[in-house]
Amino acid sequence: MTGTDKGRSYLVDVEKGSLIYDFFPCTDWISAVAISEDNRFAVISSFDRSLKILHVNSLSVSNEIKIDSVVEMIQFIENDTFLAITRDGRIIKVDAKNRQIIQEARISEKIWPSEMCVSHSKKFVYIGTRESKVFALHVNSLELMFSIELNRGGITSLVRTPKYFIIGFKSGEVQFFNHREYEDNFILNVKLHKIKEATEIFEQNIFLMTHRETNNVYNLWLERKDSIIQLLSTGIIDKAQEIAHDFLFHPKCKKEM
């Protein structure tokens, strides 16, 4: 699926190299398009600040949602749910089947999101900006996991492979980040319940904050939480803070603290 600066959107058969459908024209430049993995829903956004949700089989518009900002990119995370990033720094989660916004969050102030990709597990979303920043959010809660500033000019492409983050910049530069670097040490420390040592590895590779093993960190937090609460209730605050400190990188732990 693709769109043009003339407000036209097209559904293309990439195997046959043929045009399947020419959608109705929008009133302005098409800013983003996406289609679900099961080819059931398509979404078109234009500079008129709207999201048009279509049923691909019937090629009919099921709804139009006004969102008060231009959408930069759209990506489905489930067959009937998609994420959209907007120029005013928001991320929006939309239920395509029921045609409604179900969640929304401000990524950060004074940023212009430009690119987005989702982890293979669909648990995390990564957002690049024109300010050369990368934000990682938890898909379910839209809470921030981490952010980094790359100081390379605006981000124009953001791709996550099983081993690398590949980030392209407006300058023409491309950087490769091994998001699995120090993975073995991180996993070992978590298995040994050495959370302090595990979280210190984030200073060398911050992308491990969204590693699958962080779920086991949260499970360990659940085991320790009762002890922390008991220490707080008896006024032993310093000890409680000492135990909790290394878990607080995780947004769930931070919220529950």
Do both 64 and 149 map to the same domain? yes
Structure tokens at 245: 């400190």
> Looking at 178, 205, 240, which one is the last position of a domain?
178
> Looking at 148, 163, 178, which one is the last position of a domain?
178
Do both 15 and 127 map to the same domain? yes
- Distance between CA atoms of residues 215 and 100, nearest Å: 30
Side by side, the strands of the sheet bearing 133-138 are: 113-118, 124-129, 133-138, 144-149
Which DSSP letter does residue 111 get?
A: -
For residue 235, the tally of other CB atoms under 10 A from its CB is 8
Which sign does the torsion angle of CA 123, 178, 162, 127 carry? positive
Do both 75 and 103 map to the same domain? yes
Do both 195 and 174 map to the same domain? no
**Predicted local confidence at residue 240, as pLDDT:** 87
For residue 148, the tally of other CB atoms under 10 A from its CB is 13
Checking if the pLDDT of 235 tops 70, the result is: yes
**Predicted local confidence at residue 69, as pLDDT:** 92
Which DSSP letter does residue 89 get?
A: S
> Looking at 178, 197, 213, which one is the last position of a domain?
178
Question: Which range of residues forms the domain containing residue 92?
Answer: 2-178
> How many domains does the chain divide into?
2
Structure tokens at 181: 């670097």
- Distance between CA atoms of residues 54 and 23, nearest Å: 10
**Predicted local confidence at residue 119, as pLDDT:** 95
What CATH number has the domain bearing residue 49? 2.130.10.10
Q: Which of 67, 3, 4, 69 lies closest to 35, judged by CA?
A: 3
Checking if the pLDDT of 231 tops 70, the result is: yes
Do both 239 and 141 map to the same domain? no
Do both 203 and 153 map to the same domain? no
Do both 198 and 244 map to the same domain? yes
Do both 163 and 188 map to the same domain? no
Widest Cα–Cα separation across the chain: 71
DSSP per-residue codes, 145-208: EEEEE--SS-EEEEEE-SSEEEEEETTS-EEEEETTTTHHHHHHHHHTT-HHHHHHGGGT-GGG
Do both 33 and 119 map to the same domain? yes
What percent of the chain is modeled with pLDDT above 90? 60
Task: Report pLDDT digits (tens) over 182-230.
Answer: 999 999 999 999 999 999 999 999 999 999 998 898 889 888 888 988 9
Checking if the pLDDT of 60 tops 70, the result is: no
Determine the straight-line distance between the first and last CA of the chain, rounded to whole angstroms. 45
Side by side, the strands of the sheet bearing 71-78 are: 71-78, 81-86, 90-95, 100-106
Task: Report pLDDT digits (tens) over 131-146.
Answer: 999 999 999 999 999 9
Do both 56 and 121 map to the same domain? yes
Strand-pairing partners, residue 100, are: 95
pTM: 0.88
- Distance between CA atoms of residues 44 and 142, nearest Å: 22
Do both 213 and 124 map to the same domain? no
Do both 172 and 55 map to the same domain? yes
Looking at residues 8-21, what average pLDDT do you find? 86
**Predicted local confidence at residue 218, as pLDDT:** 87
Q: What is the dihedral of CA 178, 183, 185, 197, to 10 degrees?
A: 90
CB 26 within 8 A of CB 44: yes
